[in-house]
Structures are given as structure tokens and as C-alpha cells.
């Protein structure tokens, strides 16, 4: 074709991104700074107040910064690419067993076919599943037909309406998160996923 696809892979200096947020998204920058400055710390980490952290607007880096930034460059690359935007795409790229299942983690699958089954932490067992995605993490379990990828947004919307934290924070892979333990999620998000830029 005659077009390029944004893979969402960005490289930048921390100072350049800080300056871009200050210029293009001062509300996000100021809210983040307020939450960070109000944080408390102890031996286990830094904890931002939930109300201040929750006040930080949520948007993608594409819309917030990259569409407005000047002095950026694109590096063309030719390689196989899958946007991994659906359960089917995970099935297509993952190593599958003889029954077409992609199994990740501590999983026992019996008589299952064409399914994406991922267990993080404790054992996940499945019997007789066909064309489903099952993902079990430290704080949540998701089960749906592979064909319903486009409906995941409905679950997220329902969780957000009910005030659940699972949509705002990602627990650390190696920790078991207890209900209401939002501080560990904030710490993981800030230090493992966000910083250092």
C-alpha cells in the first residue's frame, strides 16, 4: 500500500514528553503533579490519594500528545504486524497446541478447542471449552466467546459505572491484590507502567 500504520510504539526523552504534556495537556499534567505531590510514602512505596489520582483525565498518548507534537519523525519498518486488537488475533499469533488452544500460565485444559486460556498466578482449569477467551488475573476473571471481542467495552463501561477500580489500575503480575487494595495498584501503575518515561 501507499500508507503507513501507527503501531503505537513511541520513543522519546522524558523531558520532551514532560514538555509536551505541559504544552498540549496542561490539565493532565497539573492533575498528575497534584496527585504526585500529595502522595505519601513508606517502605513499600509511594501512594497517591485516590480522589486526586481519579481526577487525572484518561486519554491515549496518540490523541493527547502525538497528534499535536512538532518535530517528530516516523521510522518505516517492514515486518509482520498484528494489532492484537481481538481475542482471535491472540489465537492467530500465539503458540497453539494440537487443538488450536493458546495456553499461557498455569493452566489445565481438557477437551478444549480454539480457545485463548490465560492464567496469571493461581491454577486455571477448563473443560469442554470451544472458541472462548478465558483470562484470570490476580484481581479479575474474564470469560467470553472469542467472537465477542468487540463487546469487551461493555464490561469496562459497566465496571466504570459501578465505580470498580479494576478499570483504572492494573495489579502487578507477581502480587495477589486483595479487594480494596488500590494503593498497590497505583504504585504498580506509576512505577512499573508509567515511570520512568
Which among 76-80, 116-120, 175-179 has the top mean pLDDT? 116-120
pLDDT tens for each residue of 126-165:
999 999 999 988 778 889 999 887 788 888 889 888 888 7
Please tell me the predicted confidence (pLDDT) of residue 131: 95
Please tell me the predicted confidence (pLDDT) of residue 180: 44
Please tell me the predicted confidence (pLDDT) of residue 177: 43
Cell 500500500 belongs to residue = 1
Q: Region 48-54: what's the mean pLDDT?
A: 90
Instruction: Yes or no: say if 163 and 150 are a contact pair by the CB < 8 Å rule.
Output: no
Which is more confidently placed, 1 or 197? Answer: 1
Name the percent of the chain lying above pLDDT 70. 80
Quick check: 179 pLDDT over 70?
no
Which is more confidently placed, 167 or 170? Answer: 167
Q: Region 98-104: what's the mean pLDDT?
A: 94
71: left (phi over 0), alpha (psi -120 to 50) or beta: left
Q: Is 63 exposed, middle or buried (0-12, 13-18, 19+ CB in 10 A)?
A: exposed
Quick check: 196 pLDDT over 60?
no
Please tell me the predicted confidence (pLDDT) of residue 28: 95
Please tell me the predicted confidence (pLDDT) of residue 23: 94
Please tell me the predicted confidence (pLDDT) of residue 190: 66
Q: What is the DSSP letter of 134?
A: E
Amino acid at each position: 500500500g501507499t500508507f503507513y500504520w501507527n503501531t503505537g510504539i513511541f520513543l522519546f526523552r522524558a523531558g520532551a514528553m514532560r514538555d509536551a504534556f505541559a504544552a498540549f495537556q496542561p490539565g493532565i499534567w497539573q492533575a498528575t503533579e497534584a496527585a504526585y505531590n500529595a502522595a505519601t510514602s513508606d517502605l513499600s512505596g509511594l501512594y497517591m490519594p485516590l480522589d486526586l489520582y481519579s481526577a487525572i483525565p484518561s486519554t491515549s498518548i496518540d490523541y493527547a500528545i502525538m497528534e499535536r507534537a512538532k518535530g517528530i519523525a516516523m521510522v518505516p519498518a517492514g515486518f509482520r504486524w498484528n494489532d492484537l486488537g481481538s481475542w482471535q488475533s491472540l489465537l492467530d499469533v500465539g503458540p497453539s497446541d494440537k487443538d488450536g488452544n493458546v495456553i499461557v500460565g498455569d493452566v489445565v485444559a481438557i477437551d478444549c478447542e480454539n480457545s485463548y486460556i490465560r492464567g496469571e498466578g493461581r491454577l486455571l482449569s477448563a473443560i469442554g471449552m470451544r472458541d472462548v477467551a478465558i483470562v484470570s488475573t490476580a484481581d479479575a476473571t474474564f470469560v467470553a466467546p472469542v467472537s465477542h471481542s468487540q463487546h469487551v467495552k461493555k464490561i469496562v463501561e459497566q465496571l466504570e459505572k459501578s465505580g470498580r477500580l479494576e478499570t483504572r489500575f492494573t495489579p502487578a503480575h507477581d502480587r495477589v491484590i486483595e479487594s480494596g487494595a488500590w494503593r498497590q495498584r497505583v504504585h504498580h501503575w506509576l512505577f512499573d507502567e508509567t515511570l520512568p518515561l
